[in-house]
Amino acid sequence: MKKIISVLLAVAMLAALTVPAFAADITISKDEPAAGPDGAQKATVDVVTKTTNTEGADAYTYSVTFPASFEFAWGDTNAKSATYTVTSQLLLGASLDVSVAANNGGEMTNENTASTLTYTLTNGGSTHFTEVNNSAAPTAAPSVSIAKEEYDGVPIAAYTGTLTYTVTYNAPTP
């Protein structure tokens, strides 16, 4: 009895591994009339790409790369680049919007003092990227700076603030 069940299970597993092909075939035979003036028989076949990859997942891809942090020496007023790069291969008609925003109005704090510093973000607005980009950067590069006046009258300490980079994928409209 065990052998019969084992054979039946093996047959069921083999049947599950077969994949039926549903594509229609075109056949040219001697019984078909010639299509061209040269007497040749011809058939036109479609070659089509899909929008999914070989695993069946969406094939589009994108990545946005930006700095993980910015460090300012005490009293440094030089702007630091907050720019980013976009690499993408999107669906036809799709796009990305990328923006940078100063959290809490650019306020920087230290847990050991009530004093604050404020940084300034320049060119943080949204930039629109279309389907294909290879390390593309925004036209107006964002930057972060701290004005000299911000350092005046506050204790020297490690103040921390944050920026938010936002990436929005816009699907193509049907």
CA–CA separation, 23 and 26 (whole Å): 10
**DSSP 8-state secondary structure symbol assigned to residue 152:** T
Query: Residue 100: what pLDDT?
Result: 97
159 versus 13: the higher-pLDDT residue is 159
pTM higher than the cut 0.85: no
Query: Residue 12: what pLDDT?
Result: 60
Query: Residue 17: what pLDDT?
Result: 53
DSSP 57-118: SB--EEEEE--S-----TT----EE---EEEEE--TT-EEEEEEEEGGGGEEEETTEEEEEE
120 versus 16: the higher-pLDDT residue is 120
**Structure confidence by residue, pLDDT tens digits, 102-128:** 999 999 999 999 999 999 999 999 999
CB 144 within 8 A of CB 163: yes
Instruction: Determine which helix (DSSP H) or strand (DSSP E) holds 11, and give its type and residue range.
Output: helix 2-17
Q: Is the pLDDT of residue 24 over 80?
A: no
**DSSP 8-state secondary structure symbol assigned to residue 131:** S
Neighbours of 146 (CB within 10 A): 24
Average confidence (pLDDT) over 41-48: 79
Query: pLDDT grade, residue 20 (50/70/90)?
Result: very low
Percentage of residues in the chain having pLDDT higher than 90: 63
CA–CA separation, 93 and 95 (whole Å): 7
Q: Is the pLDDT of residue 79 over 90?
A: yes
